[in-house]
Amino acid sequence: MKSFYNLLVISLLLLFSMTFQTINAQDFQGRAVYQTKTTMDMGNWGGRELSEQQKKQMMERMKTFLEKTFILTFNKTESIYKEEERLEAPGAGGGGRGFGGFGASLTGGPQYKNVKDLALLQEQEFFGKQFLVKDELKKLDWKMTGETKQIGQYMCLKATATKEVDEFDWRSMRRRDDTAEKKTDTTATKEVSEEIEIPKTVEVTAWYTPQIPVSHGPGEYWGLPGLILEVSADRTVILCTKIVLNPADKEEIKVPSKGKEITQEKYNETVKEKMAEMREMWSGRNRSRGF
């Protein structure tokens, strides 16, 4: 299997040698558009079972929060990943406020990666305060499977990995009594909600193309010998829908600089402290009302 995989990769690299020449150009730049979709379990939130109609209405309200479009602009070593700007539809009601403002408050800004220097920078706004999360890129231990499939005009190879989940990654939040498919180890996260838990790890499947031999990908995913075009991780699917190599209107890849510089660990501590403060505030209000 390993020799078959090596032979397959070599064949693909020879087949796409012209693309290599394009990417090795001094001013090479690429742009990839990704559609992301996260599914959620709509059953029995808040201690009550929702009807199918209520689930449908809730999913529709949260659509702008669960389905997003991102643009990855990249060169040989750097990339910037940011959400596509769009106007909210009238009456949408702010889907990101579905967790009482929690999900919206954790929405990240532009994310910069440098795969050569292993640098990660992301602008992050949390309850009106601007932070610049600065950390080292985390490597995933990718396992090559040798499987292939076509995505658009690109031949892709499959790789899998196990990823540690950030304790405030809303995409993997689930009800504590959700026991379906116990394939992941879970840990309680009482700081967020008594009803919610987040897995410690999730299995990731990625499809990458050697036709575009850069180590970039959407979000936190990178480190494969080709651009990652599709990712499945827990309840989230990320799919590349458009690629433009060497666009006429090249965009400068700017290193984010807005906000107070902080590590991911310190940022998570800040979030915990704020959530504890809010919990105390709300419990105080409930006590004063005699609840």
Q: Tell me the pLDDT tens digit for each residue of 168-218.
A: 776 766 666 544 444 555 554 444 455 677 778 999 999 999 999 999 999
> Which DSSP letter does residue 281 get?
H
Tell me the mean pLDDT in the region 155-179: 78
Q: Quote the pLDDT of residue 113.
A: 97
Q: How many domains is the chain built from?
A: 1
CA–CA distance, 198 with 169 (Å, rounded to integer): 8
Read off the pLDDT of residues 76-110 as tens digits, 9 standing for 90 and up.
999 999 999 766 554 444 444 434 344 434 557 89
Give the model's pLDDT for residue 222: 97
Tens-place pLDDT, residues 251-281: 899 999 999 999 988 998 888 888 788 777 7
Q: What pLDDT was estimated at residue 179? A: 46
What confidence score (pLDDT) does residue 42 get? Answer: 59
Buried b (16+ CB within 10 A) or exposed e, 103-133: bbbbebbbbbbebeeebbbbbbbbeeeebbb
Strand partners, 227: 209
What pLDDT band is residue 167 in, cutting at 50, 70 and 90? Answer: confident
122/133 Cα distance (integer angstroms): 5
Question: CA 64 to CA 239: how far, in whole Å?
Answer: 17
Q: How far apart are CA 269 and CA 264, in angstroms?
A: 9
| Domain boundaries, position 121 | 2-288
